[in-house]
Structures are given as structure tokens and as C-alpha cells.
């Protein structure tokens, strides 16, 4: 199974949809959004793609009641987990949270194969030694919304644990490459 991991869409529906469409073409069968969707209606752009989307909120939460309502209206497509998520996909234990420091701590527990985060808009893939003597991979897909950085996502192969950073294929006018002024 391949998983599209992305974060920080910040209401950019066009880039979010393009990333997920591109990932689906590359074999993704599910999506994990690591927060900062902002307006829940942004996720409506993914309904036509037809992949299940696991989503958490970040520090730019938007309307959480509307996020719950959207997930209840489309329970097979939008799976809203709240502030963090612990899930198993293709026998891989995955944890998602918005904040990198929280992700690093959860990875160290040894309870997860993959820990995903966002927030700082910096793409990274790191392997850490856990307290159980195993390893975990910490994934930060950057910003799919192109806020302060190029729009990116990570395609994870859950069978082989290979992770590839992809740039979202877009026309330059869709990218608002601005530097955030407040908390990301």
C-alpha cells in the first residue's frame, strides 16, 4: 500500500487536490493530512479523488465543528481524528500529530513504525533509534499549500518503507510563496 502524506494546506484547495491526484496516479490508496487544513471545506476538493483521507487539525484549526460534520457526511472519505491519530495501515503502526517536537517524542517510544508531522513547512525524512532498540521513521512532508516553501508531499510505500518527496505539479501562479507572519 502507498500512502500520500501531506500537511499544511492552509486553504489552498488547488494544490491539495493536485497533490492527491498526483499521488493517486503514483499508486496511493490513502491520504494522511498532518494538520493545518484551516477551513474544513478545503477537504471537499478531495471528495472527487475518492481516496480515504485521514486528517488531524493543527494549530490553525478553523471550524472544528464543521470538520466533524464533514467527516460524518463523508465517513468513507474524510476520517477526522482530532489533534492526533494512531492508526494501522498495511500492518504499519502510524502516528500523526502536527508538531515536530511531539512527533520526535512519539517516535522514540518505539510504539510506531512511522510518525508524521507538519507545522514548520520543512520537508524531512529521518530515522530514529527508539527506546525499545528498534527504529522509527519521522516524516514531515512540508507544506502542500506552498506557504513559504515549494508545495510538496511524501509518497510512502508501507510495504518497503520507502519514502519519496514529490513536488506538487502546478503552474507557478497557484503557489502563494509567502512567509507566514504568525504561528504556522
Using the predicted structure, report yes or no on whether residue 181 has a pLDDT greater than 50: no
Helices within the chain (DSSP H only): 13-25, 64-73, 100-108
- Decide: helix, strand or coil at residue 60: coil
How confident is residue 137, by pLDDT bands cut at 50, 70 and 90?
very high
Q: For 73-102, how does the pLDDT look when each residue is reduced to its tens digit (9 = 90+)?
A: 999 999 999 999 999 999 999 999 999 999
Q: In whole numbers, what is the pLDDT of the chain averaged over residues?
A: 93
% of the chain surpassing 90 pLDDT: 86
Rg of the Cα atoms in the chain: 15
Residue 177: the pLDDT is 52
| Average pLDDT, integer, range 160-165 | 98
Q: Where are the domains of the chain?
A: 2-171
Q: How far apart are CA 90 and CA 31, in angstroms?
A: 13
Instruction: State the cell numbers at 12.
Output: 489552498
| Fold entry, domain 2-171 | Purple Acid Phosphatase; chain A, domain 2 (3.60.21)
Highest average pLDDT, of 32-36, 62-66, 67-71, comes from: 32-36
Going by the DSSP 8-state scheme, the letter that residue 181 receives in this structure is S
In the chain, DSSP assigns E strands to 2-6, 28-33, 53-56, 78-82, 84-89, 92-97, 114-116, 123-129, 135-141, 152-157, 162-167
Residue pair 15/144 in contact by the 8 Å Cβ criterion? yes
| Among the listed residues 87, 77, 89, 76, the one whose alpha carbon sits nearest the alpha carbon of residue 2 | 89
Q: How far apart are CA 155 and CA 164, in angstroms?
A: 5
Amino acid at each position: 500500500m502507498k500512502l500520500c502524506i501531506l500537511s499544511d494546506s492552509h486553504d489552498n484547495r488547488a494544490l491539495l487536490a493536485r497533490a492527491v491526484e498526483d499521488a493517486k496516479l503514483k499508486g496511493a490508496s490513502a491520504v494522511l493530512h498532518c494538520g493545518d487544513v484551516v477551513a474544513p471545506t478545503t477537504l471537499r476538493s478531495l471528495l472527487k479523488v475518492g481516496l480515504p483521507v485521514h486528517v488531524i487539525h493543527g494549530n490553525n484549526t478553523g471550524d472544528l465543528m464543521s470538520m466533524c460534520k464533514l467527516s460524518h457526511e463523508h465517513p468513507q472519505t474524510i476520517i477526522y481524528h482530532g489533534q492526533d491519530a494512531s492508526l494501522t495501515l498495511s500492518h504499519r503502526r502510524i502516528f500523526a500529530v502536527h508538531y515536530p517536537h511531539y512527533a520526535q517524542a512519539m517516535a522514540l517510544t518505539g510504539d510506531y513504525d512511522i510518525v508524521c508531522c507538519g507545522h514548520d513547512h520543512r520537508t524531512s525524512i529521518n530515522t530514529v533509534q527508539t527506546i525499545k532498540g528498534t527504529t522509527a521513521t519521522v516524516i514531515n512532508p512540508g507544506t502542500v499549500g506552498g506557504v513559504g516553501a515549494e508545495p510538496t508531499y511524501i509518497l510512502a510505500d508501507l510495504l518497503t518503507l520507502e519514502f519519496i518527496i514529490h513536488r506538487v505539479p502546478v503552474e507557478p501562479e497557484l503557489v502563494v510563496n509567502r512567509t507566514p507572519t504568525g504561528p504556522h
